[in-house]
Structure 1
């Protein structure tokens, strides 16, 4: 299989990607207390032995990442680059059977996808499959914030939430520092910390009342 394109090759390995997507979900939960307006989400209790990270932009584009004992499977859709000739079966034909749960998950709308990628727990790199329009499949912009660089989230928040964040605070959350009322309040002075704790529990991220 050819070498994955840069946005995919820059993805961290499964365990680090999981921690990163949890951090992104926490940042979004703080900046956007109403779930429906969030861009990134994470559910550590998705299924038995499974966790799920997602991205939705409210404009028809989405990304889902299923984490389980096999590793991680990612499915992405850039709806403007989905061609009428796209055949889901061809997209998933090279995906190993161990990732069948991600391929067939109804909640991920498997028949609507422009790319997918996967990495087993013991794999040294990422694998991918694409079927987008001639100018790309959307993986370039959809995976850009998943490079592990806190400044990438700053750029995203500046454009999506129209806020300027403190880089040091974002770095703390990328390192999974426990969320305290003081830390959450510095990112969003209007945050309801009690309500946020329910989100943190779902995300599987540490919190501290102090």
Structure 2
């Protein structure tokens, strides 16, 4: 799997935004710390994932569209270039997203974008894009998933199953699919929905965080 496969599977911008908020909300409910959402990322909004082991991604929602960058430090695309940006990752990137390429939070100390995969989609685009004709060799000589873009799997159509597996593997908790589906479907958060995922938490405990994420709550 490469960034081109993920580009073909990612949903529309509006659906992606809801899924990013849903992941942050799910983590808040179960007490996780991988997924976050910031509605005040400067003039934009941004979702992020940090696994604590160096793997990460950021999804920036701007007035012009969406810019995604991610890092998989075990990828040979990272080690082979000694940390430098892999050739072709930014080929074809529209001018509208150049600001993100130089965003200090996404760059190394030398100002180079820290990424093993990059995607983007302008507001009026009909599909997601990645760098033109990226040559994954020699990275793909020893890896089935050379660029780490599989980190975005959870944002694709199997998000419910992916999050359930994530919660079991990382947080050691078993979640009911219907309870996760309710959050992913972006239905207003209720006390029953919260307690179905975590009996030790109440809706009142999460209202402020839900408001920060822009996730709807029941009256």
**Which TM-score bucket, shorter chain as reference?**
0.7 to 0.9
Whether the aligned pair in 1 keeps the contact of 2:102 and 2:113 (CA below 8 Å) is no
Q: Find the aligned partners of 1:17 and 1:179 in 2 and give their Cα distance.
A: 19
Contact 2:3–2:147 under 8 Å retained in 1: no
Seen in structure 2, the aligned counterparts of structure 1 residues 101 and 201 have a Cα distance that, compared at 3 Å, is: farther
Q: Aligned residue for 1:17?
A: 16
Among candidates 191, 196, 199, match of residue 189 of structure 1: 199
- Cα deviation code 1:45-78 (max 9, x no counterpart): 2222x11011110001110000011111000000
Q: Distance in 2 between matches of 1:19 and 1:184?
A: 18
Task: Note if 1:122 corresponds to 2:124.
Answer: yes
Q: Which of 62, 67, 72 is the aligned partner of 2:66?
A: 72
The reply on whether 1:27 has 2:26 as its aligned counterpart is yes
The answer to whether the 8 Å contact 2:101/2:113 transfers is no
Q: In the alignment, which of 31, 38, 41 is matched to residue 43 of structure 1?
A: 38
Query: Which residues of structure 1 form unaligned runs of 5+?
Result: none
CA separation of 1:4 and 1:57: change in aligned 2, threshold 3 A: closer
Q: Give how far 1:93 is off.
A: 3.9
Separation in 2, partners of 1:183, 1:25: 15
Contact 1:145 1:156 in 2 (8 A): no
Shift of 1:153: 1.7
Residue 146 of structure 1 is matched in structure 2 by 155
Give the whole-Å Cα distance in 2 for the aligned partners of 1:94 and 1:83.
Answer: 24
TM-score calculated relative to the size of structure 1: 0.86
What is the rounded CA distance, in whole Å, between the counterparts of 2:155 and 2:53 in structure 1? 20
Aligned CA-pair RMSD:
2.2
Q: Aligned to 2:55, which of 36, 58, 61?
A: 61
Greater Cα offset, 187-196 or 175-184 = 187-196
SS at match of 1:27: helix
Summarize the Cα distance change of 1:112–1:87 in structure 2 as closer, same or farther, 3 Å threshold. same
With structure 2 as the length reference, what TM-score do the two structures score?
Answer: 0.83
Structure 2: give runs of 5+ residues left out of the alignment: none
What is the CA–CA distance in structure 1 between the aligned matches of 2:40 and 2:119, rounded to whole Å? Answer: 22
Q: Does the alignment pair 1:94 with 2:89?
A: no
Distance 1:99 1:121 in 2: 12
Identify which range, 6-15 or 69-78, moves more after superposition.
Answer: 6-15
Number of aligned positions between the proteins: 201
